[in-house]
């Protein structure tokens, strides 16, 4: 009876893993679509304030303005006075309008028409510095600003 | 019976393509950031005086908000919390039917940015709840589903008018 020998030798086949790279590629494409390449690394330490009812800022024509205490390459805080970083360089208040003009000149026309400065300032920054920075922005003609913040998890009362 | 020679070409071993894709994924995760830039959008007034809108306002149309050096909030010279500020702004804006109102903000130079931000947040929350209410009452659907003309009408009824005094010494 040669048929019976067939049945005895059957074993469970191993799991076919040929499709696993396809799944990983799918996840990879998902990440490629939802993230942006980080192009500025902050050289100051900052914690933005928290709020609710925040709106998203535009993604083109963005200038990053970080205000906080400076950190060295290892991430340790080295100074006690808050300083200003525009995109990827530390600038002083006097240089700020000129630096903004330079950055504006390097942008495409499309981006320049949608110029927004996102202000990521540490929450303990004295308002005097913020006011001076806003005056410098007005002088440079960058009128759209976005006060960056994180969403607070506390109660949102009626909306 | 035939005896077929076994000419099995071995299949390509694909167990390492999964590793390659893991490497790509990890590289991508490390070099990118999922930061969605969220915050309060604002428009600063232009520096050129001619471009600014000049309006005559009377004292009754102005709501005075100030923050002193210890981060204490004062609404019309009365101490207040952020929640109270939101209520006061709501009733102030709602009670001025033709949109003639100004919120004057004054911040001491030594106040912290956090206090300023919370104050701006409370003002925005007040406007938002007023605008939402109007959208529901007048148009019957929430603010997000309003058409552009409806939005313009709502913005005209409740315009955001904040005047900040500049203290430069």
CA distance A62 to B137: 37
> Is residue B88, in this structure, part of any structural domain at all?
yes
pLDDT of B39 > 60? The answer is yes
Confidence band (pLDDT; 50, 70, 90) for A157? very low
Mean pLDDT of chain A: 80
> Is residue B81, in this structure, part of any structural domain at all?
yes
- For residue B116, what are the domain limits? 57-129
| pLDDT at A5 (0 to 100) | 61
Q: pLDDT tens digits for B111-164?
A: 888 889 989 988 888 888 888 888 888 888 887 777 888 888 888 888 888 888
Number of structural domains, chain B?
A: 1
CB atoms within 10 A of CB B31: 10
Contact by Cβ (8 Å): A28, B28? yes
**CB-based contact (8 Å) between A31 and chain B?**
yes
Q: pLDDT tens digits for B68-96?
A: 888 888 888 888 888 888 888 888 888 87
pLDDT of B50 > 60? The answer is no
Mean pLDDT of chain B: 80
pLDDT of B36 > 50? The answer is yes
Confidence band (pLDDT; 50, 70, 90) for A159? very low
Question: Domain with A63 in it: what CATH number?
Answer: 3.30.420.270
> Is residue A157, in this structure, part of any structural domain at all?
no
Q: pLDDT tens digits for A104-124?
A: 888 888 878 888 888 888 888
Give me the residue from B14, B47, B109 closest to A127, CB to CB: B109
Question: Domain with B96 in it: what CATH number?
Answer: 3.30.420.270
Residues in chain A with CB shorter than 8 Å from the CB of B108 are: 127
Give me the residue from B43, B110, B113 closest to A121, CB to CB: B113
pLDDT of A8 > 60? The answer is yes
> Is residue B14, in this structure, part of any structural domain at all?
no
Which helix (H) or strand (E) segment holds residue A125: the answer is none
Residues in chain B with CB shorter than 8 Å from the CB of A132 are: 168
> Is residue A114, in this structure, part of any structural domain at all?
yes
| pLDDT at A156 (0 to 100) | 47
**CB-based contact (8 Å) between B38 and chain A?**
yes
Q: Cβ separation of B32 and A128 shorter than 8 Å?
A: no
CA distance B35 to B67: 31
| pLDDT at B53 (0 to 100) | 57
> Is residue B109, in this structure, part of any structural domain at all?
yes
pLDDT of A87 > 80? The answer is yes
CA distance A87 to B14: 44
CA atoms within 13 A on the CB side of A6: 3
Among B128, B44, B142, residue whose Cα is nearest residue B89: B128
> Is residue A38, in this structure, part of any structural domain at all?
no
Q: What angle do CA A14, A20, A23 make, to 5 degrees?
A: 150
How many pairs of residues across A and B have Cβ atoms under 8 Å apart?
159
**CB-based contact (8 Å) between B16 and chain A?**
no
- For residue A140, what are the domain limits? 44-151
Task: Match 């499309």 to its residue by tokens.
Answer: A110
Give me the residue from B14, B37, B128 closest to A53, CB to CB: B128
Number of structural domains, chain A?
A: 1
**CB-based contact (8 Å) between B129 and chain A?**
yes
| pLDDT at A158 (0 to 100) | 42
Residue B105 to residues A21, A134, B57, Cα–Cα distance (Å): 57, 15, 15
């Amino acid at each position: 009876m040669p048929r019976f020998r067939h049945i005895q030798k059957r074993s469970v086949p191993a799991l076919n893993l040929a499709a696993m790279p396809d799944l990983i590629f799918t996840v990879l494409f998902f990440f490629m679509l939802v993230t942006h390449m980080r192009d500025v690394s902050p050289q100051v330490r900052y914690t933005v304030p928290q709020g609710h009812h925040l709106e998203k800022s535009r993604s083109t024509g963005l200038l990053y303005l970080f205000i906080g205490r400076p950190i060295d390459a290892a991430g340790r805080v080295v100074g006690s006075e808050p300083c200003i970083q525009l995109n990827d360089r530390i600038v002083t208040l006097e240089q700020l309008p000129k630096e903004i003009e330079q950055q504006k000149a390097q942008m495409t026309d499309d981006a320049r028409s949608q110029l927004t400065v996102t202000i990521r300032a540490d929450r303990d920054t004295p308002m005097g510095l913020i006011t001076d920075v806003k005056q410098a922005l007005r002088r440079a003609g960058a009128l759209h600003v976005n006060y960056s913040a994180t969403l607070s998890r506390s109660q949102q009362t009626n909306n | 019976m035939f005896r077929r020679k076994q000419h099995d070409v071995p299949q390509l071993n694909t167990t390492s393509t999964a590793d390659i894709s893991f490497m790509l994924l990890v590289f991508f995760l490390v070099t990118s950031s999922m930061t969605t830039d969220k915050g309060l959008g604002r428009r600063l007034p232009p520096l050129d005086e001619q471009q600014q809108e000049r309006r005559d306002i009377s004292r009754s149309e102005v709501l005075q908000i100030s923050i002193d050096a210890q981060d204490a909030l004062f609404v019309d010279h009365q101490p207040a919390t952020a929640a109270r500020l939101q209520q006061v702004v709501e009733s102030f804006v709602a009670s001025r039917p033709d949109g003639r109102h100004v919120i004057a903000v004054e911040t001491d130079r030594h106040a912290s940015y956090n206090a300023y931000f919370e104050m701006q947040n409370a003002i925005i929350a007040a406007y938002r709840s007023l605008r939402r209410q109007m959208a529901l009452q007048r148009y019957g659907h929430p603010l997000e589903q309003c058409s552009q003309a409806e939005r313009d009408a709502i913005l005209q009824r409740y315009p955001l008018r904040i005047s900040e005094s500049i203290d430069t010494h």
